[in-house]
Structure 1
Amino acid sequence: MNFGGQQDAHDDIEFNLIPLIDVILCLLIFFVVTTTFQQQALVRIDLPEASADATTMNSDSLEILIDANGRFYLNQLEVLQSDPASLREAVQAYAADASREQPVTVRADAQTPHQAVITAMDVLGQLGFSRISLATVRSGEGG
């Protein structure tokens, strides 16, 4: 009987990696499932710096005017309805063969609802226009 004697020197210590792999796999699945892959549609707008010089408008540029009641005008022609679908149809009809790189100016009255301006910019972004400018007047000029 060997009660306090030597242990067998040939026993190897072994690490069981299966529980570690299970935990890492569960974490990986958790992070993949909880990550959102939805990309937000963004419209990049380069805001111009204020200057004393007025910029000239190109003849091929597109202008959307929004009055205080939220009605849209496309190059001085009124869009019949003030919903996004009507504005989209009007812009598509007006700029059907034009390049989406042409400049677009959005002019809004000071009393225009903010939603109307955002609707116009959203429609232009969905149609692929990338050169969008917001027209303003210098303070002191008035309307």
Structure 2
Amino acid sequence: MRLSSGKVPDEPEINLVSLIDVVFCLIIFLVVTTTFDHRSALKLVLPESQAVSDADPGDPLTVLVDAEGRFFIGNNEVLKRDVGSLKEAIARVAGDDRTRPVVLRADARTPHQSVVTAMDALGQLGFTRLSIATTPEAKP
């Protein structure tokens, strides 16, 4: 005959603390190892070209010209649109390295004078490795 001792058997429970620790570690790992795409916040429509570029420029200095003719060096906007202000902004970002490749990304609707102003400022500063970014020609 079985006699009861009056104790209620222990209910199994799941320890959530260790589960939360593991999930937290996974989230930190995924955030740290994620590669972020360095796309511009500006929406540019680049001109089209049939030529294919094979050269890898490394870490180029990026000069953006939007459709309204505003200049951006990297992610920073140049407030004035004259050559002097543009040269100062480029010199501040590039430092003394004039052999660094430069990529000029101008919207297809950009006024031609804005592109010439950017090229003139780069030329006056002594940059010789200039590339103009384009997109591949759309095939009909």
TM-score by length of 2: 0.59
- Tell me how far apart the structure 2 counterparts of residues 72 and 54 of structure 1 sit (CA, whole Å): 27
**Superposed counterparts of 1:13-32, under 5 Å:** none
Backbone CA RMSD of aligned residues: 2.2
Q: Which amino acid aligns with 2:58?
A: N
Alignment of 1:1-143 (within 5 A): 50-51=51-52, 56-59=56-59, 61-98=60-97, 100-140=98-138
Residue type at the aligned position of 1:50: A
**Displacement of 1:85 after TM fit?**
1.2
Q: Which residue of 2 aligns with 1:32?
A: none
Separation (CA, whole Å) in 2 of partners of 1:62 and 1:49: 24
Q: Distance in 2 between matches of 1:94 and 1:77?
A: 10
| Cα distance between partner residues in 1 of 2:128 and 2:80 | 24
Gaps of at least 5 residues in structure 1 are 1-47
Structure 2 spans left out of the alignment, 5+ residues = 1-48
Q: SS of the counterpart of 1:85?
A: helix
Larger radius of gyration: 1
Normalised to the residue count of structure 1, the TM-score between the two structures is 0.57
For residues 54 and 65 of structure 2, the distance between their equivalents in structure 1, rounded to whole angstroms, comes to 21
State the 4+ residue runs in structure 1 displaced beyond 6 angstroms.
none
Secondary structure of the corresponding residue to residue 121 of structure 1 = helix
CA contact (8 A) 2:50 2:136 kept: no
- Identical counterparts, % of pairs: 48
Q: CA deviation at 1:120?
A: 0.5
Amino acid at match of 2:103: T
Kindly state the Cα deviation for residue 49 of structure 1 after the two structures are TM-superposed: 7.5
Provide the rounded CA distance (Å) in 2 between the counterparts of 1:65 and 1:54. 22
How far apart in 2 are the matches of 1:56 and 1:71? 27
